[in-house]
Amino acid sequence: MTVELWVEKYRPRSLDDMIDQEEIVARLKEFVKNKSLPHLLFAGPPGTGKTTAALALAHDLYGEYWRDNTLELNASDERGIDVIRTRIKDYARTIPIGEVPFKLIILDEADNMTGDAQQALRRTMELYSRNARFILIANYISKIIEPIQSRCAIFRFQPLPKEAVIARLRWIAEQENVKVTEDGVEAIWEESEGDLRKAINTLQAAAAIREVINADTVYEALGKVAPREIREMIEYAVEGDLLKAREKLRVLMYNYGLSGVDVVKLVHRELISSRSPLRLDGITLADLIALVGETNYRIVEGADDEIQLTALLAKIALLASRRE
């Protein structure tokens, strides 16, 4: 039996099905209504609906002929100048099928295109503008050369809000008869950070492990340490029990296989979290965060992970004792 990826199974097929990004969807619908659009550049973080919006636009624009009129390329694989000179030019020369007077060329991950390929693309966009429109999709718009940016209408996608992501996850869970607890949904949201694709994939991975998805199941599916493990280590340091804090640190590093940088990032996330066991004033917390940054720098530069992290825990204990 074929197991379908939920992220593809529940991908919106029309602009009407897209969640959030209302302003962008409204502008794209005007293009569909008028059957006319400029070259487009979709920019924003991963998992915010850029590729989905491009494909949904093609569906709505061409209807049943959308596959015949759409060329989708992933520029991270086909990013050289030869692709621009041959495949894209050959496709752009052909006449579209149906009422829309142009074809659509979607270049996903266009920010991975080489400089030469982008220079060739800028001229291609001008020469074949009668028969073809381009949609360039990029995570980092700064990597797209200015001449191409100036030829496109730019759409900036924002990370999806928590409410929209959670609502979509609960809807998918309902369709798949999967039970998700409140802390499970919160854990998926925290790990996805607005990336809906990652959130849906995490939900599917967790559903393959347990019938009921809670926070522990989510972290197990991701192969990550639960935040409470980091929290316990910090709490030991706050209470002044440095030996227990150090023992917890060794468990994290050797049992879970975390690197020093991994631990530092998790500690940083817990310190700025609303659930942090530290209740320090702003100045003390600022000093501590600066120390976390210094520890990270030392580890990256080659200092011993365990020694530097033990020193970090000692500093947390000192700062906590000053508060009392």
Q: pLDDT band at residue 1, thresholds of 50, 70 and 90?
A: very low
Is pLDDT above 80 for 155? Answer: yes
Distance CA 52, CA 10 (A): 11
Its CATH architecture, for the domain 227-323, is Up-down Bundle (1.20)
Distance CA 55, CA 66 (A): 9
Its CATH architecture, for the domain 162-222, is Orthogonal Bundle (1.10)
- How far from 23 is each of 8, 158, 269, CA to CA, in Å? 24, 11, 32
Is pLDDT above 80 for 274? Answer: no
166-214 pLDDT, tens digit per residue, is: 999 999 999 999 999 998 999 999 888 888 999 999 999 999 988 899 9
Equal fold, 162-222 vs 227-323: no
Question: Domain residue spans in the chain?
Answer: 6-156, 162-222, 227-323
14-25 pLDDT, tens digit per residue, is: 999 888 888 999
46-96 pLDDT, tens digit per residue, is: 989 999 999 999 999 998 889 899 988 886 665 566 666 777 888 888 888
Structure tokens at 77: 């694989």
The H-or-E segment that residue 37 falls in is none
Per cent of the chain over pLDDT 70 is: 93
Judge whether 25 and 133 are in contact, CB under 8 Å.
no
Tell which CATH classification among 3.40.50.620, 3.40.640.10, 3.40.50.300, 3.30.365.10 matches the domain 6-156: 3.40.50.300
